[in-house]
Chain A
Amino acid sequence: MLKLCSVSKKYAKSDTYAVNDVNIHVKGGEIYGFIGPNGAGKTTTIKMIIGVLSPTEGSIEINGTDIAKNGNKAKKNIGYVSDSHVMYDMLTGKEYVNFLADVYGVSAEDRQKRCEKLLEMFGMKDAFNSQISTYSHGMKQKINVIGALIHEPPVWILDEPMTGLDPQSAHALKTLMKEHRDKGNVVFFSTHVLEVAEKLCDRVGIISDGKLIKEGTLEEIAGSEKASSLEDLFLALTKKEK
């Protein structure tokens, strides 16, 4: 479960709120799409969820644990896939995944089982023992996903996860997201690709200028607007907000 209660963020040298009074509650077994134009506050919100930034106001609960009060316990429940890779080029894919598995205390048996499945899905078996410096952008993204899922986190956060993935890998990632949801976990992801959000999400939240301007299932959001697709809805809502 992921719960954001009246979360706001104001940066030190700014007069305005980057994120303003955002309330989101994602239950287990849900894929939540977080969409918004550039500079709307998506990344700031995600950084607060994963504990890199502290909210100026409000609180964030990960699986029932307040991240501000018990950061380590809360973070153990998160798997995070970023859009920019901070990978360790001198390590092999295997060493990188093993490092993460060690940090999260995953047993040798579990990590082998999970690795085998994920490597198979992403077609990374052959490259697993190669140095990360030799990987393409897409391969780095795949190893990033494998690393994020190695401890089977109850809350999986993805920031623009489809960037750089080939169609097969994008399909594999979408399958994984659905599988993760079906196991009763939370999948929270930001995207610019509205078609992906439309097809994959159980609910979406639209953020603009730091405020959550609309939230719900596509039907609920569409009910109040005359639009035939998420793209039309998104454009209509963000234009109205401006």
Chain B
Amino acid sequence: MKTFLVMLKRNIKMFFKDKGLFFTSMITPLILLVLYATFLSNVYKDSFMGVLDGFGVKVEESLMNGLVGGQLFSSLLAVSCVTVSFCSNMLMVQDKVTGARKDFLMGPLKKSTLALSYYTASAFSTLIICVLAMIACFVYIGIVGWYITVADVFLIMLDVFLLVMFGTALSSVINFFLSSQGHISAVGSIVSSCYGFICGAYMPLASFGDWLRNIVMFLPGTYGTSMLRNHTLNGVFEEMTSQLTKTHPEPMVDALIEGLRDSIDCNLYFFDTQVEIGTMYLIVSLSILALVAIYVILNVLRKKKD
């Protein structure tokens, strides 16, 4: 246990001291922020206004800002939880490349302890960054338009935790096979640039073609984005419903809200079947368990091979 804690401390320290790794892990969230700041925010605002105008309704400015901000919030966290964990877990590969892993195994350290220390350190480092990002997002939402309920705040925390676990487990399995600086660069670049697209963070899956949308629905990360989106935007939709039903017929308001929820992936469809939020949790949780099991098996097999 003591050795595990020493290795855990070392791994977390090395990640935060390695400016290259740390900066790489922040690339995707930064891209997202730049995209929102430059044009995505306006694109979404115009698009939502277009839908609302189509129904002949108007909503308060703060409600619109809450809607766009909630989408940014969910996208940012959905991407960060996975891409940051990939980068923090690169330490495992770097230690292989530099020979530090062999060095550790010369000391009184079990291979299983080392593997567990990489996993835990990666999860911990990612949680630190994502919790800070989450706090920053809460502050931002508080400024532009806060409609999130207390229950949703706790559910957002749960979503972040689950996505960090998912990202750590996925990166542990993939990084297990990497053994050179070239591998680190290639995987780092691919994940940083592609994950935001395939999980629906940059653009909603609803805007993808049918075939592409059906393919990405097989990826568990997609459900994580939708979970976060539901919990950041539930309050906005409830407030919108409450305001609009005072002046408009309820069926029309329901149709409008459902249309908005469909357009930004709060409602996800696996082929033609809508996926319930409980099912999304089940998919993400089972994926984490399956990936952790694969990581354990890979380590056991390597131990036998050595």
- Listed in ascending order, the chain A residues whose CB lies under 8 Å from chain B are 50-52, 54, 71-73, 75-76, 78, 80, 84, 86, 88, 90-91, 95, 99-100, 102-105
List A contacts of B17 (CB < 8 A).
90-91
Report, as a range, how many residues of chain B touch the other chain.
Answer: 20 to 34
Please, which residue of chain A has its CB at the minimum distance from the CB of B7? A103
**A103–B3 touching, CB < 8 Å:** yes
**A90–B14 touching, CB < 8 Å:** yes
Mask of B122-150 contacts with A, CB within 8 angstroms, 1/0: 00000000000000000000000000000
**A103–B6 touching, CB < 8 Å:** yes
- 100-123 of chain B: CB within 8 A of chain A: 100, 102-103, 105-110
Given contacts A51-B105, A75-B108, 13 further A-B contacts (CB under 8 A): A50-B106, A72-B110, A73-B108, A75-B106, A80-B106, A86-B98, A86-B103, A91-B13, A91-B14, A99-B10, A103-B6, A103-B107, A104-B107
Does B18 lie at the interface of the complex (its beta carbon under 8 Å from any beta carbon of A)? Answer: yes
List A contacts of B2 (CB < 8 A).
102, 105
B100 CB contact (under 8 Å) in A54, A75, A88: A88
Does B99 lie at the interface of the complex (its beta carbon under 8 Å from any beta carbon of A)? Answer: yes
Q: In the complex, how many angstroms separate the beta carbon of B168 from the nearest chain A beta carbon? A: 22
Instruction: Provide the main secondary structure of the chain B interface.
Output: helix
Q: In the complex, how many angstroms separate the beta carbon of B110 from the nearest chain A beta carbon? A: 7
Complex-state Cα separation, A76 to B107, whole angstroms: 7
Can you list 8 contacts pairing A with B, beta carbon distance less than 8 Å? A52-B105, A72-B108, A72-B109, A75-B107, A86-B102, A99-B6, A102-B2, A103-B3
**B10–A86 touching, CB < 8 Å:** no
Q: In the complex, how many angstroms separate the beta carbon of B95 from the nearest chain A beta carbon? A: 9
Number of A-B contacts (CB under 8 A): 49
Please, which residue of chain B has its CB at the minimum distance from the CB of A102? B6
**A90–B106 touching, CB < 8 Å:** no
List B contacts of A84 (CB < 8 A).
99
Complex-state Cα separation, A230 to B142, whole angstroms: 80
Q: In the complex, how many angstroms separate the beta carbon of B244 from the nearest chain A beta carbon? A: 56
List A contacts of B107 (CB < 8 A).
75, 100, 103-104
Complex-state Cα separation, A122 to B3, whole angstroms: 29
A76 CB contact (under 8 Å) in B6, B9, B14, B108: B108
Q: In the complex, how many angstroms separate the beta carbon of A198 from the nearest chain B beta carbon? A: 29
**A52–B106 touching, CB < 8 Å:** yes
Query: Which of B6, B99, B100 has the most C-beta atoms of chain A within 10 angstroms of its own C-beta?
Result: B6
List B contacts of A54 (CB < 8 A).
306
Q: In the complex, how many angstroms separate the beta carbon of B20 from the nearest chain A beta carbon? A: 10
**A103–B108 touching, CB < 8 Å:** yes
Q: In the complex, how many angstroms separate the beta carbon of B204 from the nearest chain A beta carbon? A: 40
Complex-state Cα separation, A76 to B2, whole angstroms: 14
List B contacts of A86 (CB < 8 A).
98-100, 102-103
Query: Which of B7, B106, B109 has the most C-beta atoms of chain A within 10 angstroms of its own C-beta?
Result: B106
List B contacts of A51 (CB < 8 A).
105-106
Q: In the complex, how many angstroms separate the beta carbon of A58 from the nearest chain B beta carbon? A: 18
A88 CB contact (under 8 Å) in B14, B105, B108: B14
Complex-state Cα separation, A103 to B105, whole angstroms: 11
Q: In the complex, how many angstroms separate the beta carbon of A102 from the nearest chain B beta carbon? A: 4
| Across the A-B interface, the 5 shortest Cβ-Cβ residue pairs | A102-B6, A72-B108, A86-B99, A90-B17, A75-B108
Complex-state Cα separation, A39 to B201, whole angstroms: 56
Mask of B17-49 contacts with A, CB within 8 angstroms, 1/0: 110000000000000000000000000000000
List B contacts of A73 (CB < 8 A).
108
Query: Which of B9, B17, B107, B110 has the most C-beta atoms of chain A within 10 angstroms of its own C-beta?
Result: B107
Please, which residue of chain B has its CB at the minimum distance from the CB of A105? B2
Q: In the complex, how many angstroms separate the beta carbon of B290 from the nearest chain A beta carbon? A: 31
Please, which residue of chain A has its CB at the minimum distance from the CB of B6? A102
Complex-state Cα separation, A177 to B56, whole angstroms: 88
Complex-state Cα separation, A15 to B2, whole angstroms: 42
List B contacts of A90 (CB < 8 A).
14, 17-18
**B109–A103 touching, CB < 8 Å:** yes
Complex-state Cα separation, A86 to B107, whole angstroms: 13
Q: In the complex, how many angstroms separate the beta carbon of B186 from the nearest chain A beta carbon? A: 23
Q: In the complex, how many angstroms separate the beta carbon of B128 from the nearest chain A beta carbon? A: 18
Q: In the complex, how many angstroms separate the beta carbon of A149 from the nearest chain B beta carbon? A: 14
